């Protein structure tokens, strides 16, 4: 039945001449009768948001879809299970395939929320990282001005008639003249470098959406990235060991209280406003520190007073770092301690989120029903003033 025929039947039934506007009015009146008692939140246009709300894609599901995308599968019924093709942001990669066999590496940026959660977990596995100030980076390099020479302040008396002199060479502090002082400015440049780690994951884990499995995968990636960052931050070239040049100390023939005082105050002399000078050391060094006493026969080492607290050495926090070498010295029985104003003068820059790459056919993982992922994060590490840090070599491990 055509619309004109329907309108003619309605006119005959109602006895009212109907056109488009009058029909709209009748419909509106009927709808108003039914809708006036409903709250405004109950009236929706389009799809019901409660029924169309998407569930959060887990980390394991994201990794699974990255693997599928690297195999050439796509979203919208094309192979991806949880993500749409446009949700996977592909990035350029200079990294070679994970093995020598053919097949391109698929490199994808992990979604923002998952990437942020991973980066937030990294300090749990990097002692250096969690001591430093965190700086977001929008470019590969970021430059900060630094003050290497401070201003000088003076107390001056009330001015005298000397203030009327025109020859500044005759001004003196005693007559009320405020001497000028020069400041020395420098620059601190943080450069983001690519930190890349390899993580092999069972394919069964990738296909399992159990939340507990998801947390295991997250911790696995975070621990691997955190450990790699920690090792690079202690590197003798680009890390703490290479950046500290002023306060490079050597323990005496008999390791004692004076060595620890020298380490701590080498930092405080150049960072007098620091609230604390954490000491970074291997657990083997910690065991030796437990036996040290001061001049009054009191132990330097104090255990944590609360479950989440850190132990202290002469009042300064001791931070365990298993990545510090403990096989130094001619007998391979020495280690190092590091101390410094980390809270104010050590910086970690983060350039981007986590990038995950994979070659699903890489051997030997494919033959063992595993998928190997390369996880990358772009980070930088820098000290604003190396004189606020110190290292102590020759610390015995037994």
Residue 37 in domain: no
Residue 313 and residue 170 in one domain: no
Q: Are residues 165 and 66 in the same domain?
A: no
Residue 250 covered by a domain: yes
Query: Where do we find the tokens 């990437």?
Result: 115
| Any domain includes 393 | yes
* Integer CA distances (angstroms), 80 to 1, 63, 325, in order: 46, 11, 45
164 plus 304 within the same structural domain: no
Mean pLDDT of 159-178: 55
Give residue for tokens 């944590």: 304
User: CA-CA distance, 209 to 333, in Å (whole number)?
Assistant: 47
Domain co-membership, 368 together with 253 = yes
Task: State the Cα–Cα distance between residues 183 and 340, nearest whole angstrom.
Answer: 24
* CB distance 200 to 362 below 8 Å: no
Residue 47 in domain: no
Q: Residue 389's closest CA among 189, 250, 247, 233?
A: 247
Do 237 and 179 reside in the same domain of the chain? Answer: no
Q: Write b or e for each residue in 18-48: b if 16 or more Cβ atoms lie within 10 A of its Cβ, otherwise e.
A: eeeeeeeeeeeeeeeeeeeeeeeeeeeeeee
- Two tokens, residue 20: 């488009």
More confident residue, 27 or 251: 251
Report the C-alpha gap between 326 and 309 in whole angstroms.
Answer: 24
Band (77; pLDDT cuts 50, 70, 90): low
Task: Quote the tokens at residue 107.
Answer: 């490199």
Residue 184 CB partners (closer than 8 Å, separation 6+): 147, 148, 149
118: domain CATH number is 3.90.1690
Q: Tokens representing 179?
A: 């001497």
* Residue at a domain's end among 162, 189, 216: 189
User: At 178, is the pLDDT very low, low, confident or very high (cuts 50, 70, 90)?
Assistant: low
Residue in this structure with the two tokens 């001056």, named with its chain if needed: 156
d(CA 5, CA 22): 16
| 265 and 313 inside one domain | yes
Task: Judge if 162 and 257 occupy the same domain.
Answer: no
Neighbours of 228 (CB within 10 A): 20
pLDDT band at 183 (very low <50, low <70, confident <90, very high): low
Q: Which of 189, 204, 220 is the last residue of a domain?
A: 189
Is 339 part of any domain? yes
Looking at the structure, tell me whether residues 277 and 318 fall in a common domain.
Answer: yes
Q: What is the pLDDT of residue 101?
A: 39
Q: What percent of the chain has pLDDT over 90?
A: 39
CA dist 191 and 371 (Å) reads 32
- Dihedral (C-alpha) 163, 167, 172, 175: value to the nearest 10 degrees? -20
Does residue 73 sit in the same domain as residue 201? yes
Residue range of the domain that includes 155:
145-189
pLDDT tens by residue, 333-370: 999 999 999 999 999 998 877 888 888 888 888 899 99
Asked if residue 42 belongs to a domain, the reply is no
Beta-bridged to residue 340, according to DSSP, are 389
The predicted model scores a pTM of 0.72
- Would you give the end-to-end CA distance of the chain in angstroms? 98
What is residue 153's predicted lDDT score, i.e. its pLDDT? 65
Same domain as 370, residue 300:
yes
Q: For residue 246, what is the DSSP state? A: S
Q: Do 159 and 272 fall within a single domain? A: no
Dihedral through CA 320, CA 322, CA 324, CA 329, nearest 10?
Answer: 110
d(CA 113, CA 359) in angstroms, rounded, equals: 24
Q: For position 171, what pLDDT does the model report?
A: 56
Give the total number of structural domains in the chain.
Answer: 2
Looking at the domain assignment, is residue 18 inside a domain? no
**Does residue 14 fall inside a structural domain?**
no
pLDDT value at 99 more than 90: no
Contact indicator for 321, 126 with CB cutoff of 8 Å = no
**Model pLDDT for residues 280-321, shown as the tens digit of each residue:** 999 999 999 999 999 999 999 999 988 889 999 999 999 999
Same domain, 331 and 351: yes
């Amino acid at each position: 039945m055509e619309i004109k025929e329907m309108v003619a039947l309605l006119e005959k039934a109602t006895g009212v001449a109907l056109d488009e506007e009058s029909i709209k009015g009748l419909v509106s009146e009927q709808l108003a009768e039914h809708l006036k008692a409903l709250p405004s939140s109950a009236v929706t246009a389009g799809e019901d948001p409660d029924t169309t709300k998407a569930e959060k894609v887990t980390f394991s599901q994201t990794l699974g879809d990255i693997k599928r995308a690297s195999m050439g599968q796509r979203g919208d019924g094309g192979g991806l299970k949880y993500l749409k093709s446009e949700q996977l942001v592909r990035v350029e990669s200079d990294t070679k395939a994970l093995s020598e066999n053919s097949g391109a590496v698929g490199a994808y940026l992990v979604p923002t929320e998952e990437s942020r959660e991973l980066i937030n977990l990294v300090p749990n596995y990097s002692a250096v990282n969690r001591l430093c100030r965190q700086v977001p980076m929008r470019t590969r390099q970021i430059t900060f001005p630094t003050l290497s020479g401070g201003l000088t302040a003076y107390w001056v008396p009330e001015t005298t008639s000397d203030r009327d002199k025109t020859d500044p060479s005759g001004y003196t502090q005693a007559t009320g003249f405020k001497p000028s002082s020069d400041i020395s400015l420098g620059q601190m440049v943080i450069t983001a470098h690519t930190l890349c780690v390899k993580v092999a994951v069972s394919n069964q884990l990738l296909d399992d959406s159990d939340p507990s499995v998801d947390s295991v995968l997250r911790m696995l990636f975070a621990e691997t990235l955190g450990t790699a960052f920690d090792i690079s931050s202690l590197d003798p070239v680009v890390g703490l060991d290479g950046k500290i040049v002023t306060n490079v100390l050597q323990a005496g023939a008999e390791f004692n209280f004076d060595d620890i005082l020298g380490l701590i105050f080498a930092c405080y002399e150049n960072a007098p406003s620091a609230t604390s000078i954490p000491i970074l050391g291997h657990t083997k060094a910690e065991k030796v520190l437990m036996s040290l006493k001061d001049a009054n026969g009191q132990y330097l080492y104090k255990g944590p007073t609360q479950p989440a607290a850190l132990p202290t050495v002469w009042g300064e926090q001791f931070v365990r770092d298993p990545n510090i070498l403990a096989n130094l010295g001619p007998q391979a029985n020495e280690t190092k301690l590091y101390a410094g104003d980390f809270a104010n003068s050590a910086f970690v820059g983060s350039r981007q989120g986590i990038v995950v790459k994979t070659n699903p056919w890489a051997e030997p993982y494919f033959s063992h029903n595993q998928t190997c992922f390369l996880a990358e994060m772009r980070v930088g590490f820098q000290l604003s003033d190396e004189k606020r840090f110190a290292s102590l070599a020759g610390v015995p491990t037994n």
